Amino acid sequence: MKLIRSLAIAAALCVAATSANAALLGRDLNGSPGSFEAYYDTVLDITWLANANLAQSNQFGVTGINLSNGRMEWDTANNWITAMNAASYLGISTWRLPAMYDINDDGCTVNSYSSYNGGDCGYNVVSTGAQASELASLFHATLGNLAFYTTSGATEPGFLAWGNVGPFSNLGTNNFYWYGQETTTDSTGFDYGLPAYYAWYFGPSGAQRPQDKTGSFYNAWAVFDGDVQAAVPVPGAVWLFGSAVAALGWLRRKAG
């Protein structure tokens, strides 16, 4: 009876894990079966590079990248994407930075910079629907990560920075990521009529804000629009099956 109950629990774990990450489908871009170089996001209709910090190991000849953590200024991040496309990395020449949805086209106002619930700035930002920014969607909706603060502003007891990394590699707990969008205002939302000099980022605490493009060093994660391998129905979520099998083994040992 204990073993049957254990089997049921393990099966539930497997189903839950698969459904929680069903939005990610593994894609083979180098012709080597058994490994995925990218993951198609069925919700956003974009494909994420499997290596979430490729710039640390491959700079494509671009200078200004910190080799110890892959961080760079916003302009350098765009130069890196340009060089990546020039090299047709993995056969793709349309890589870009993730897209951010500025709901009111106002950057962050004084009141929203540390907002805890909804909107496009602060914590627990919109992560589903047409107004969801891509990194926020991946962080919250797809991978199931929690922000550092709850929607009421209390510290989240279950918070782990990028605690769920899914099938991605080099997604460190201290990785901050540039969005491709600049702002037309400064970081407090007041427009001084100057050229855009802030760009949006998403941090490991679940915070989404604009930051000065110069002097701020964040990571760059390459994505491209659509699904290059749409005809291959291989769910990337099966990467979690190993975890369920391991849990089953543990439960069986315990039952015995």
Q: Which residues of 89-116 are buried (b: 16+ CB within 10 A; e: fewer)?
A: bbebeebbbbbbbbeeebbbbeebbebb
Residue 190 binned pLDDT confidence (cut-offs 50, 70, 90): low
Could you state, in order of their start, the residue ranges of all structural domains in the chain?
A: 1-22+242-256, 23-234
Long-range contacts of 8-15 (CB under 8 A, 24+ apart): 9/247, 9/251, 10/244, 10/245, 10/247, 10/248, 10/251, 11/244, 13/243, 13/244, 13/247, 14/240, 14/241, 14/244, 14/245
- Tell me the mean pLDDT in the region 28-40: 92
In which band, very low, low, confident or very high, does the pLDDT at 198 lie, cut at 50, 70 and 90?
A: confident
- The amino acid present at 33, given as its one-letter code, is P
Residue 153, Ramachandran bin (φ over 0: left; ψ between -120 and 50: alpha; else beta): left
Decide which of 184 and 203 is more confident: 203
| Average pLDDT estimate for 47-72 | 98
**Per-residue pLDDT at 89 exceeds 70:** yes
**Inter-axis angle of helices 2-20 and 241-255, nearest 10:** 160
CA distance 34 to 151: 41
Residue 112: is its pLDDT beyond 80? no
Mean predicted lDDT score pLDDT of the chain: 81
